[in-house]
Amino acid sequence: MTPSDTPQSHPRYTSLRIRDRIVDGLRRGITSEHGLLAHGRGEAFDYLVGERTHAFANAAIEAAAAKMLLAKTPVISVNGNAAALVPDDLVKLSRAVPAPLEVNLFHRSEKRERLIREFLVEHGADTVLLPSKNYANGVDSNRRFVNPMGISVADLVFVPLEDGDRCEALRAAGKEVITVDLNPASRTAESATIAIVDNIVRAVPILSRIVQDLKATATPEELADNIERYEHTTVLAAARRQIVDKFSV
């Protein structure tokens, strides 16, 4: 990784170091050029939510952890941005649940799929599933191709930084969807079962830790209570209010 020469005293230091991960992902062939634009959009929303994990995100993370633990066949879908930003934490989450990692790209190329798999394996992943051209999931984009052992048969899919079409298609196919999306007004956030409105770099480490904690301590009834407490529309409304408040004078 080639870190930018940003001094630690720079007020945007953390944000600029996160950018370095995306740039490194692009150089490695993991992240697409479009991923840079998507990241910029995420950065803007992160600025608006104050670049911290709010109570509305923690509520979603608690419910997401419980849902992942109660799911029968959960799968973690990985795109080029997620792989570049949080490879270690995705691997930890995959082990903790356990749930396989499956590469699923919008701007699909077999080379990028292979490079992402190799990158995740370098970061400790045991198995990384790739999409198969013989299995489609009702989306028109490249995201329609899925692995027959993974998303195809999953009852729950964790899809951070997703596009709305696939989220809606997965829901229409009867699957539960957990997303991480800094835009609380996106179709993805709205159509997901659970939306974690937070930066993936903060949310996935917390999610993975809570999965480990709940797995060690919680009963199935307590997990079900966590899910019961989650109110999707209330959480999204709180996130939207946070953004609006940024501009109130």
What's the min distance (Å) between Cβ of 247 and ligand PTJ? 18
Nearer to ligand PTJ, 163 or 176 (CB): 163
What's the min distance (Å) between Cβ of 40 and ligand PTJ? 8
Instruction: Give CA–CA dist 10/17, Å, rounded.
Output: 11
- Measure Cα distances from 192 to 20, 25, 60, 153 in Å: 29, 27, 11, 18
Nearer to ligand PTJ, 16 or 70 (CB): 16
Nearer to ligand PTJ, 85 or 115 (CB): 85
Number of H helices, E strands in the chain: 11, 8
What's the min distance (Å) between Cβ of 36 and ligand PTJ? 8
What's the min distance (Å) between Cβ of 246 and ligand PTJ? 15
Nearer to ligand PTJ, 169 or 200 (CB): 200
Pairing between β-strand 132-136 and β-strand 145-146 as defined by DSSP bridges: antiparallel
- For 11-33, letters b (16+ CB in 10 Å) and e give eeeebbbbbebbbbbbebebbbe
Q: Which residues bind ligand PTJ (CB under 6 A)?
A: 32, 34-35, 38-39, 41-42, 45, 79-81, 85, 105-107, 161, 163, 180-183, 186, 199-200
